[in-house]
Structure 1
Amino acid sequence: MKKVKFIYNPNSGDRKIPRELDKIIEVYQEYNYYVVPFRLSKDRPISDAFLDIESNYDHVLISGGDGTVDLVVNTMKELDIDIPIGILPSGTANDFAKAVNLSFDPKESIERIVKSEPKKIDIGKINDKYFINVASAGMFTDVSQKINPDFKNSIGKVSYYLKGIEEALNMREFSIRITSDELIYDGNMYLMLIFNGKTAGNINLAYKAIVDDGLLDVIVIKKILLPNMLPLLKNILKGEHLEGYNEDEILYFKTSKLRIECRDDLITDIDGEKGPDFPLEIECIKDGIQLMGY
């Protein structure tokens, strides 16, 4: 009988996973898997989930949002654990799960996982932290950090939109310097996003992104005059492509490695959680993890 380590965040999204535990175990047992669950909490370090990792686990199933997946992936990297992962999306946005077309139905998701072979995909690294979907800084990027968790869980995506409107009414520009083999930019910007996935807050921005090409997609929205900014924000919120904007307004390029410096007080965000301080050394880790069900 194969073994799967099941790590879940009971507070993700609408907190449905605790109600689905029996179904998850039932489906796995139908496929002759033995499930070893670990409940994430503030009282125990995530590393405790891997105390028995020498017990030959077939894969690790992670249930939560992008931040939960990041937490587990970072812990696995720290412990030098190279076991395939499966993702059962249960967060509020679940941007990465949507980018790779994962199922949100527990039964279908598990069946896809157990019937699949692991595929190597890229992850991003920003200083000493890894991310699966997006690292960002500037306007809108710390919205998730500013939302009360209970408020976010109670009204879900609406909480992001409400906080986003508040951010838009208080736009602020930041002075940055970007250095990569592809370009050097020294100037002001409102927003910067470095994608491994495709979406942020369910908005499809990095529509050219491919999760196994060894490259990150970088989008920088420069300082733009207000009459031009309003139509741009409208298009972003509608999820429309950013084609048609010139380099005086938007930078969109692919790279495997870049350095970003900021002359202002600016915090970073990694998949909805606080990221490291500037300067940032960012790179794409080619084939960084093995994903099942993709």
Structure 2
Amino acid sequence: MQSLLSRDSVKVALVVNAGSRRGQDALASSEEMLRSAGIEDVRSYAVHSGEELETTLDEVAADKPDLLVIGGGDGSVGAAAARIAGSDVVLAVLPLGTANDFARTLELDQDPQTAVQQMLEGKIINVDIGRANGHAYLNVASFGLSVAVTEALNPRLKKLIGPAAYPVATLQAYRHHRPFTARLEFPEGDHDTVELDDLLQVAVGNGRHYGGGNTVSPTASVDDDLLDVYAIVRGRMRDHVSIARLLRSGHFIEHDHVHHVTTSAVRITTDEAMPVNLDGEIVTETPTDFTLESNALHVAVPIRSRAGRLDGPPPDVQS
């Protein structure tokens, strides 16, 4: 698989959430490292708000760089991916968020400078993206408890305790959760329609990690042409504790209170419209059509990354 530096010339757009000192430092050091590697055409963009990020990414995508380096959390990475999916632009990730789940899936180092070096010395792979009512996501789309967790994850809490904010917010959300019913229909006919009652959460995973390092399932991959669908049924506290202990490995899908299937498309309806969380951002609501776009995104990863191992290289980046 071809590396970035094997190309004759590379036009790079470097977009970084510079609202923190860490982001400002990452922007400066990343630009310096890119130029030191012999890349002359580097255009840097410091963004300080969600609105500015959206506007900047629209501008960058229209300019069609060879490489878009996005520095931020999973929400910023997903916003960048949505704009370049299906194009020749390669995405690279600077992990600057709280969870950095897509970076984990790609097996990138959590240190931004090391991640840049891995990108420069690494390879380019192709990965799938999921869509929920047409909106792109990389890791997991979910509704139920996860939405309440997202609402409890205020910026102050994340800044104060970092990744530990996730279990704290989960406990807060759990206290006020109301169970719900969901109907799952499979347009490809690969599964029978199922209606599930008394649910805690439903999630549809495209990638491997979510929620600060939890694993969608033991076999989940960002390039397997499959969505992992799981629904957690409300149980006793001991059941939820048992499931929580298995979240890191993904083996929670084997628990009696978890319904799990894999598919390429599913339509999910609920009795009342429920907000749907895409990679940490509440974007749409039920009923929701979940679909998969195979090999839709080119991504720079470390040379030894196992992400993208199920596919060959994208046709337009072969050496």
Equivalent-residue separation in structure 2 for 1:266 and 1:170 (angstroms): 15
The answer to whether the 8 Å contact 1:40/1:46 transfers is no
Residue in structure 2 matched with residue 242 of structure 1 by the alignment: 252
Question: How many residue pairs align between the two structures?
Answer: 287
Pick closer, same or farther for the CA change 1:45–1:67 going to 2, 3 Å. closer
Equivalent-residue separation in structure 1 for 2:102 and 2:87 (angstroms): 21
Equivalent-residue separation in structure 2 for 1:125 and 1:17 (angstroms): 29
1:72-100 superposed Cα distances (whole Å, 9 cap, x missing partner): 122335xx754111111110011121122
**Amino acid paired to 2:209:** T
Equivalent-residue separation in structure 1 for 2:82 and 2:292 (angstroms): 15
Equivalent-residue separation in structure 2 for 1:167 and 1:51 (angstroms): 37
SS at match of 2:77: helix
Pick closer, same or farther for the CA change 1:23–1:45 going to 2, 3 Å. closer
Residue in structure 1 matched with residue 233 of structure 2 by the alignment: 222
Equivalent-residue separation in structure 2 for 1:290 and 1:44 (angstroms): 24
SS at match of 2:150: helix
Residue in structure 2 matched with residue 191 of structure 1 by the alignment: 201
Q: Structure 2: any 5+ residue segments left out of the alignment?
A: 1-8, 303-319
Equivalent-residue separation in structure 2 for 1:94 and 1:83 (angstroms): 21
Residue in structure 2 matched with residue 182 of structure 1 by the alignment: 191
Residue in structure 2 matched with residue 127 of structure 1 by the alignment: 133
Equivalent-residue separation in structure 1 for 2:237 and 2:300 (angstroms): 46
- Select the residue among 254, 264, 289 that pairs with 2:262: 254
SS at match of 2:29: helix
Q: Structure 1: any 5+ residue segments left out of the alignment?
A: none
The answer to whether the 8 Å contact 1:47/1:75 transfers is no
Residue in structure 1 matched with residue 315 of structure 2 by the alignment: none
Greater shift, 146-155 or 48-57, is seen at 48-57
SS at match of 1:260: strand
TM-score with structure 1 length normalisation?
A: 0.88
TM-score with structure 2 length normalisation?
A: 0.81
Pick closer, same or farther for the CA change 1:230–1:292 going to 2, 3 Å. closer
The answer to whether the 8 Å contact 1:145/1:274 transfers is no
Equivalent-residue separation in structure 1 for 2:250 and 2:220 (angstroms): 15
Equivalent-residue separation in structure 1 for 2:60 and 2:72 (angstroms): 22
2:52 matches 1:44: yes
Tell me how far 1:228 sits from its aligned partner. Answer: 5.2
Equivalent-residue separation in structure 2 for 1:56 and 1:68 (angstroms): 18
Root-mean-square deviation (CA, aligned residues, Å) is 2.4
Equivalent-residue separation in structure 2 for 1:153 and 1:227 (angstroms): 29
Greater shift, 152-161 or 230-239, is seen at 230-239
The answer to whether the 8 Å contact 1:46/1:75 transfers is no
**Amino acid paired to 1:222:** V
SS at match of 2:69: strand
- Select the residue among 89, 104, 107 that pairs with 1:101: 107
Tell me how far 1:245 sits from its aligned partner. Answer: 2.5
2:45 matches 1:35: no
Tell me how far 1:266 sits from its aligned partner. Answer: 2.2
Pick closer, same or farther for the CA change 1:241–1:2 going to 2, 3 Å. same
**Amino acid paired to 2:255:** Y
1:156-180 superposed Cα distances (whole Å, 9 cap, x missing partner): 1222222111122233211110011
Equivalent-residue separation in structure 1 for 2:165 and 2:60 (angstroms): 39
2:164 matches 1:158: yes
Equivalent-residue separation in structure 2 for 1:65 and 1:154 (angstroms): 16
- Select the residue among 112, 115, 120 that pairs with 2:118: 112
Equivalent-residue separation in structure 2 for 1:191 and 1:54 (angstroms): 38
Residue in structure 1 matched with residue 220 of structure 2 by the alignment: 209
Equivalent-residue separation in structure 2 for 1:48 and 1:175 (angstroms): 40
Tell me how far 1:263 sits from its aligned partner. Answer: 0.5
- Select the residue among 280, 287, 292 that pairs with 2:295: 287
**Amino acid paired to 1:185:** V
Identity %: 24
Residue in structure 2 matched with residue 92 of structure 1 by the alignment: 98
